[in-house]
Structure 1
């Protein structure tokens, strides 16, 4: 493995930056490439076939061009649909992102768990299997909150996220039967941790939030243990579509230690 081989992180937008931040805290010496598929944002309103074709195609192109030591699909929607397919076609180690139902089930005191994700994520059989395996005897309520993706993108760019989007997401869980018992909420989209402060204010102090960023970071650190690293002067972001004039996004990426931006 070349010492300058990067860790490549892939998301539909800026949500995967939450995973990048957690991983960099454990592996500050590594080189990173962050890929935002902004041209296809959001993934959550697309069909499974569309997402699988998009993710597999982009992952193949990126692996061929940049020869990463590891690829992290830092997107719950893409992972629950296309993770197995990407692993079949690439020899590069692949780490996915799945809803953190197991730690939520371990943390809840009331047995009431909420799950916020995209429409594509919450309907996946993969989530059914996680619930059956780890949340038996608990109540897991799901709600599709695609409006939070846009709200997170707004916040990262320094804009005020829409309060109505936050309120609608919370109400979508609370109004379900058993919703009043929720004391733990799974943020099953990597965008959503960017809105933890806003969600906490709306839910109230009795609710805790769980996401997969720390677990993913530990998995990446484990898979790259013992490898040599050479860090570049600045990390690279690749944005699909035309992001050349998105100065707010460029500033946000710089905040996450990314000084170079390219298109794809």
Structure 2
């Protein structure tokens, strides 16, 4: 294994930074290529067929170009729809991001949990299966929000995001007839941990949140255990699939995650 072979993180936008962050904390010397598919953004409002066709083809090109040692699909929507297709297309380890329903069910005392994701994610049979397997004795309230994805992107770009906007985006879950006992919410979109403070204010102190970021980081560390890393890795690369001029706020946010180079596919 060449020490300079990177980890490749993939998302429709900047949400995957919530997965990259804990992985960098465990593997600080790992070279990183972070891919934001802004040419296909947003995924949450697209059809299953569009995502199932786009993601494996795009990751095939990226793997050929960057020769990663491992790929992380840091996107719940892409993972719940296209993970099997990506694994069939690539001859290297692929780690997906799926809704953290099992830890939510383990944490819940009231047995009422929420699954907050994109519209595409919350309607997936994959979520049905996770709920049946790990939360059969729970009431599971699902809500898909494209607005929260947009707000997370705006926040990372340095734009002001109000608590009221976030509260409005999650109001259908909070107002659900069975939500009075809600005590645990799965953040089933990697964008949403980037709005942690705003979501906590909207739901109140009685609700806790779970997401898959830390678990994915541990999985990546396990799969790369014993592999060499460079003593001083090159600056991380943020790669966008469509040319655009990143605002200063976004460039600063990317740099905070170690992504100091910005390029276009």
| Separation (CA, whole Å) in 1 of partners of 2:203 and 2:227 | 43
Counterpart secondary structure, 2:57: helix
Q: Name 1:242's counterpart in structure 2.
A: 243
Instruction: Please give the residue correspondences for 1:78-117 in structure 2 after superposition, counting only pairs within 5 Å.
Output: 78-117=78-117
Q: Name 2:153's counterpart in structure 1.
A: 153
The CA deviation at 1:236 is 0.8
| Separation (CA, whole Å) in 2 of partners of 1:45 and 1:213 | 23
Verify: 1:132 aligned to 2:98, yes or no.
Answer: no
| Separation (CA, whole Å) in 1 of partners of 2:108 and 2:14 | 29
The CA deviation at 1:247 is 2.7
The CA deviation string for residues 224-263 of structure 1, in whole angstroms up to 9 with x for no partner, is: 0010111423111101212234332212111111111110
Aligned length: 264
Q: Name 1:255's counterpart in structure 2.
A: 256
| Separation (CA, whole Å) in 2 of partners of 1:137 and 1:151 | 33
Instruction: Please give the residue correspondences for 1:28-47 in structure 2 after superposition, counting only pairs within 5 Å.
Output: 28-47=28-47
Counterpart secondary structure, 2:13: coil
| Separation (CA, whole Å) in 1 of partners of 2:148 and 2:134 | 26
Runs of 5+ consecutive residues of structure 2 not aligned to the other structure = none
Verify: 1:168 aligned to 2:146, yes or no.
Answer: no
Q: Name 2:60's counterpart in structure 1.
A: 60
Query: 8 Å contact 2:237–2:261 — kept in the other structure?
Result: yes
The CA deviation at 1:164 is 4.3
TM-score by length of 1: 0.97
Q: Name 2:233's counterpart in structure 1.
A: 232
The CA deviation at 1:37 is 0.6
The CA deviation at 1:162 is 4.4
Runs of 4+ in structure 1 over 6 Å off: none
| Separation (CA, whole Å) in 1 of partners of 2:81 and 2:234 | 35
The CA deviation string for residues 163-196 of structure 1, in whole angstroms up to 9 with x for no partner, is: 4431223321122221111010100000000111
TM-score by length of 2: 0.97
